[in-house]
Amino acid sequence: MKEERVVEIKVFGQTFSVKTDADEDHIQAVAQYVNEKMDEVLRKTRSVSTLNVAILTALNIADDLLKEKEQRKALLREVEVKSKDLVEKINVRMAGKEVKKIQVVE
């Protein structure tokens, strides 16, 4: 397990000290991503409230995350269906031979 340390990041003009065991480059990339998303919200809404920009940014990032999770689930279901189909095709081809059938482990 990596040792925790404090990394300083800058988000929306404010400096934060973050205690983390992740690589500093990763934490800086996360901060950069949040800054980009906040700038995007700021351009679209022209809101002057930092709190409003932060909340709208959090909602946008959460929406992106949930969409990605659903897409991942759909892809995993597709891989599972195709894998089972391939196993069935292999078993059909090998049916006449003295080879043990391949079984899908679930």
d(CA 61, CA 102): 43
Helix axes 24-45, 50-94, angle to 10 degrees: 120
Stretch (H or E) spanning 44: helix 24-45
pTM of the model as a whole: 0.73
Contact (Cβ atoms closer than 8 angstroms) between residue 84 and residue 104:
yes
Task: Express each pLDDT in 47-63 by its tens digit.
Answer: 779 999 999 999 999 99
- Provide the residue ranges of all domains of the chain, joining segments of one domain with +: 5-94
Position with higher pLDDT, 45 vs 48: 45
